[in-house]
Amino acid sequence: MTTLFLGVALFIAFLTLAPLFRMALGPTIYDRVLGVGLMGTNAILLLVLIGFIYGRIDMFVDLAIAYAILNFVGIVVVAKYLERRGEKP
Amino acid sequence: MTDSLALVLVFGGLFFVLVSSLGLIRLPDFYTRSHALGKSDTLGSILVLGGLAVYGGLSLSSFKLLLILVFVALGNPTATHALMRAALRSRQEMWSRREGANKR
């Protein structure tokens, strides 16, 4: 079961290349923030899976809670900052 | 029994995370990309976290995993909606098949 979770974690880490690609050459700033959001969600899943792999889930789940809260607050604050910053109609 | 249920949930969630990553790469526009990410990634995270909570059994860690699940299910669509509203209010152009058909 631990080996299977290691495979799942490696697959999610491979999928994290997609938001990295979008963050590197997204056409607009909103695409980059969207990539940050997907990368944060993947980081939550990776932290929980690493907790199950190492058998220390009681420690890693608190880190995952902190990552979830920071991800949400960060994206909402950046969206509020970027509002009405584009070209005027 | 619980292990097989956890495996089904985790691999179903992995499929949805894969779909959201492909959508983030392949779709042509910011709005369509956030459409792929706001729903599919939320469902994938819910399924993976729920499967791991089923695997962990009845403990405090599983309760915290359910707490993360509820927070992701509330927070991820809200964040995507806020970002999409910011893009819409700053006149981000929508994609259309004809060039310049959807000017606002």
User: Tens digits of per-residue pLDDT, B19-76?
Assistant: 999 998 888 888 888 988 889 999 999 999 999 999 988 889 899 999 999 999 999 9
Spans of all domains in chain A: 2-82
Q: Are residues A57 and B61 in contact, defined by beta-carbon separation less than 8 angstroms?
A: yes
CA distance B6 to chain A (A): 11
| Domain-embedded: residue B33 | yes
Contact status, residue B73 vs residue B46, Cβ threshold 8 Å: yes
Which residue segment(s) compose the domain that B10 sits in?
2-89
Q: Is residue B56 part of a domain?
A: yes
Task: Output B98 or A86, whichever has higher pLDDT.
Answer: B98
Size of interface A-B (CB pairs under 8 A): 133
Indicate the residue of A38, A52, A58 with minimum beta-carbon distance to B41.
A38
**Closest chain A C-alpha to B101 CA, distance in angstroms:** 17
Mean pLDDT for chain A overall: 88
Average pLDDT of span B84-95? 82
User: Nearest by CB to B72, which of A18, A41, A62?
Assistant: A41
Q: Are B41 and B16 in contact (CB under 8 A)?
A: yes
- B98 domain-assigned: no
CA atoms of A31 and B71, how far apart (whole Å): 23
Tens digit of pLDDT for each residue in A6-52? 999 999 999 999 999 989 987 888 899 999 999 999 999 999 999 99
Do residues B32 and B20 lie in contact, with contact meaning Cβ atoms separated by under 8 Å?
no
Interchain CB distance below 8 Å, A41 and B68? no
Quote the pLDDT of residue B30: 87
Does residue B102 lie in a domain region?
Answer: no
Predicted pLDDT of residue B74: 92
ipTM: 0.85
Tell me whether residue B83 is in a domain.
yes
The total of structural domains in chain B comes to 1
Q: Residue B10 domain-assigned?
A: yes
**CA-to-CA dists, residue B62 to A49, B48, B53, B58, B76, angstroms:** 13, 13, 5, 6, 21
pLDDT tens digits for range A4-14: 999 999 999 99
What pLDDT sits at residue A89? 47
- How far, CA to CA in Å, does B20 sit from each of A42, A77, B63, B78, B86? 11, 23, 27, 17, 21
3-state secondary structure of B58: coil
Distance from the Cα of B43 to chain A's closest Cα (Å) equals: 11
DSSP state of B76: H
3-state secondary structure of B24: helix
Residue B65, domain member (yes or no): yes
